[in-house]
Structure 1
């Protein structure tokens, strides 16, 4: 839709609208070559560095502003972090339940998991976007901390002891939040 609306390919849009303004000099989307064309692999296809991705998290944390420049509107950030499923029935063994022991149905934002939610306001105060391969970017607005973990698990031995980097990463973020905030 973005390509049609802007009459530009996705990678060009990503570079012009996000990567360049955020100083993400080493970031691009992995292409999927279909009939000679360039279709980006949006789910899990971002090739980036830790420093580049921290710029992105910084912008999200600061309501769309990065180094004094409005990259995304605060309204866009609010929509991204809003409950996008509106009370849909979520299986009890979902990511939020397994990873954090939380029981709420508003787990999906746009491109973000709504991990921890204020029960009175319904607003997410911890968001993330974990990858199955061990990437875990997160923002905890309540404790005013954000970061990015990459865990690497080698071979099948990773599953023999039950460890999952996907489900284990939120434990690391909770430890960091508790350490920084003194909880």
Structure 2
């Protein structure tokens, strides 16, 4: 709503001729009703608190605060192997080494290749503006890293995951 607009975080851009903070890039990147761009979130906005509730629900196999939100079968469908990720060739896939694509997430199948020192079965996703989350079922924990930056990258979230995993064994 318009009342909530002042809580909307600016985005940082560091690309070619665009550098700095902005709310708008062009007509496709606004959150107005007349926007007809089709992107992953479709204009979905969230808070850290709400996103953490989502992560907690995934960690608990579809249950949140005693209420069933997704069936366990849905979680199984999300995390089963649907598409093999190509081996690292210096492309975008290098940061997902050892993973496959489930339905709406990546899933770690070969921990020896993971730079974040996660256990087999860790799953998560990352968004265009650098929102990253991961679920570690074996360790009973999740991680959430949120920014509003257009320069997408894996280095910071992987370092965070590695640090958390070194503390929680």
TM-score (norm 1): 0.58
Partner residue in 2 for 1:58 = 56
Partner residue in 2 for 1:33 = 34
Partner residue in 1 for 2:80 = 82
Asked whether the equivalents of residues 44 and 131 of structure 1 are also in contact (C-alpha less than 8 Å), the reply is no
Query: Structure 1 residues 103, 72: closer, same or farther in 2, change over 3 A?
Result: closer
Out of 97, 105, 109, the position equivalent to 1:112 is 105
- Rounded Cα–Cα distance in structure 2 between residues aligned with 1:77 and 1:103: 20
Report the Cα offset of residue 92 of structure 1: 2.6
Report the Cα offset of residue 152 of structure 1: 5.6
Q: Deviations over 1:68-125 (max 9, x none)?
A: 111100000000011112x5x72533555x226x345xx11111111x2268xxx952
- Rounded Cα–Cα distance in structure 1 between residues aligned with 2:63 and 2:168: 24
- Unaligned residue ranges in structure 2 (runs of 5+): 1-30, 112-118
1:137-176 aligned at under 5 Å gives the runs 137-151=133-147, 165-176=153-164
Q: Deviations over 1:12-40 (max 9, x none)?
A: xxxxxxxxxxxxxxxxxx56636xxx787
Q: Secondary structure at the match of 2:103?
A: coil
Q: Secondary structure at the match of 2:139?
A: coil
Partner residue in 2 for 1:15 = none
Q: Secondary structure at the match of 2:134?
A: strand
- Rounded Cα–Cα distance in structure 2 between residues aligned with 1:51 and 1:31: 24
* RMSD of aligned Cα (Å): 3.2
Report the Cα offset of residue 140 of structure 1: 1.0
- Unaligned residue ranges in structure 1 (runs of 5+): 1-29, 159-163
Asked whether the equivalents of residues 32 and 40 of structure 1 are also in contact (C-alpha less than 8 Å), the reply is no
